[in-house]
Amino acid sequence: MNPKIYDYKDEQNWFIGKCSETGSSVYYQEEAKKTYASLERDLRSLFDEGTSLMLTVVKITSAMALVQFILDIINDQQQHTYKASSHKGAILVTENDRLVLVCLPKNGLLISDFFGEEKTKPAELGDTILIATRNEGKTKEFSQMFAKLGLKVENLNQYPELPEVEETGLTFEENARLKAETISKLTGKVVLADDSGLQVDILGGLPGVWSARFSGPDATDQKNNAKLLHELAMVFDLKDRSAHFHTTLVVAAPDKDSLVVEADWPGYIGMEARGSNGFGYDPLFIVGDSGKTAAELSEQEKNDISHRGQAVKKLMEVFPTWQNAH
């Protein structure tokens, strides 16, 4: 490490600093510490691991001067090109075309001041992912799962102008890709589509990709469940009514290869509908050997073990890497 000592002095500010491997030490006048210490703490994250800053602030009136002084040290020691700029009372640290750090004043800023839009509210901030569905039940499940990644969820009900994407694929992945990639191209957004379905072994995997419209073009959950019970009317032994839910998730974004994950959830088809939670075939689907239908599970229980829950867990493991890939 270069033991170079750095010094900056003008009529209003005087800073002395150097990099150290033995731990940070920062000295301020007491009044200056109350106002400016948080800036130095914010900037510590930019130092390489194992590198600390020894800093003496003899006098200070400019937060920008202090930030730029510390950035100059980092740039010299670590071959970066960090720059500081002021924005609405905050200090932005950038490198080339990337925003690296935002240093806020001690008492924060009004969101409307920072973004320059009076109508901007906290609930409107943050990244979103558009779920390619109009099903509010499915959207609710995804919202709870993606909240763990700090992502907010929208669905197609918020975009009534978008056309319906015909699910003409013969596999779950083909249908999910059609929806995700088509809507992403139309909106420029990150879009997640799933094609999920129930596959009953004794029916040769039906209803499969036709699960949502099993009972015909005017299908409803109730009609689909009634048709499934009719198809299995002569199958009396539960072990012969084995089935599984399948989910394929596809995440698409403009100019990126789509991300694909899959999961299954084994169980059996019951003799009658039970439970009031969930949607689709949940009231008929007996989960493994639990004796409970999916509609008898709480939302949290279902999210933890369902085909969709398992697929989203897989997605969570790979989504950040995919999201940050160029």
Question: Which amino acid belongs to residue 310?
Answer: Q
Q: Which listed residue (195, 240, 255, 282) is catalytic? A: 195
C-alpha span between 198 and 201 (Å, rounded): 10
Supply φ then ψ for residue 185, to 5 degrees. -65, -35
56, β-bridge pairs? 16, 27
C-alpha span between 319 and 148 (Å, rounded): 12
pTM for this one? 0.64
In tens, the pLDDT along 40-55 reads 788 888 988 888 888 8
Residue 195 is a catalytic residue = yes
Residue 285 · residue 246 · CB < 8 Å: no
Q: 152-155 and 128-131 as β-strands: parallel, antiparallel, unpaired?
A: parallel
Task: Specify the pLDDT at position 90.
Answer: 86
In tens, the pLDDT along 199-224 reads 999 999 999 999 999 999 999 999 99
Surface-to-core class of residue 224, CB atoms within 10 Å of its CB (0-12 exposed, 13-18 middle, 19+ buried) = buried
Distance (Å) of CA 52 to CA 55, 56, 92, 182, 241? 10, 13, 22, 49, 64
- Name all domains of the chain by residue range, CATH numbers in brackets: 6-120 (no CATH), 128-324 (3.90.950.10)
Task: Specify the pLDDT at position 39.
Answer: 80
Question: Which amino acid belongs to residue 172?
Answer: F
